[in-house]
Chain A
Amino acid sequence: AQTVTQSQPEMSVQEAETVTLSCTYDTSESNYYLFWYKQPPSRQMILVIRQEAYKQQNATENRFSVNFQKAAKSFSLKISDSQLGDTAMYFCAFRSNAGNMLTFGGGTRLMVKP
């Protein structure tokens, strides 16, 4: 079974600065998908960014980028130019290529301070 670990329960960052959230996972598969989801106080889970394991190039979506290290089974999220609206819980998630469900990490609560 796959496991996903987020070692930082809480983080804070000053507005306009950069922050990196860590995620590691354990799998014996070679083809899979990784995701970062954001959950603001409204509870709505919103996809931030996704990465296919077979792609070597790190995914980027505007201010959000990932550092995907397949051999190390690491998938960190970098948020540049942090904004107050980035305050939320962030979940790293894994999905097997053959599976359907998402396996989530325990989450990191990010607070962006003005």
Chain B
Amino acid sequence: GAGVSQSPSNKVTEKGKDVELRCDPISGHTALYWYRQSLGQGLEFLIYFQGNSAPDKSGLPSDRFSAERTGGSVSTLTIQRTQQEDSAVYLCASSLDRTGVYEQYFGPGTRLTVT
């Protein structure tokens, strides 16, 4: 089957605009994760979904960041009033379940550039 897909692949936006990043996990995977990869901060966890609920939002850097997941499948990460420090690659991953040694499968990421 298909792997994790993300869209868009690249996004350039002006400072102050809102952006939406989309993640399509592997079918049947109940757990979904968002990470951010930036030059200064490396790879950081943002948020975790189990089904449609987000029991762990501890990594969201500010209230400008939000995410939702509908139907236990597609997830959208929204960044409001983007800032230049939001420029990074946003990676989505999914796994069969959060427990045990289940592998997290990653998507190709969305490269966000805020000008």
Contacts and interface: CB of A to CB of B under 8 A. Distances in A.
Interface of A: 33, 37, 42-47, 50, 52, 91, 100-107
Contact of A102 (B45, B50, B108, B109): B45
A95 B112 CA distance: 27
A100 B106 contact: no
B89 A43 contact: yes
Contacts, number: 46
A45 B106 contact: yes
Given A37-B106, A100-B31, A102-B43, 6 more contacts: A45-B91, A47-B105, A100-B98, A101-B33, A102-B35, A104-B42
Nearest to A91: B43
A105 B42 CA distance: 8
Contact of A50 (B91, B101, B106): B101
A43 B104 contact: no
A91 B43 CA distance: 9
B103 interface: yes
Q: What 9 A-B pairs have minimum CB-CB distances, sorted nearest first?
A: A45-B106, A104-B43, A101-B45, A100-B98, A43-B109, A100-B48, A106-B42, A44-B108, A47-B103
Given A100-B48, A101-B33, A101-B48, A33 B56 contact: no
B16 to A, nearest CB: 27
B59 interface: yes
Given A45-B91, A50-B101, A100 B56 contact: yes
Nearest to B93: A45
B59 A101 contact: yes
A54 B74 CA distance: 34
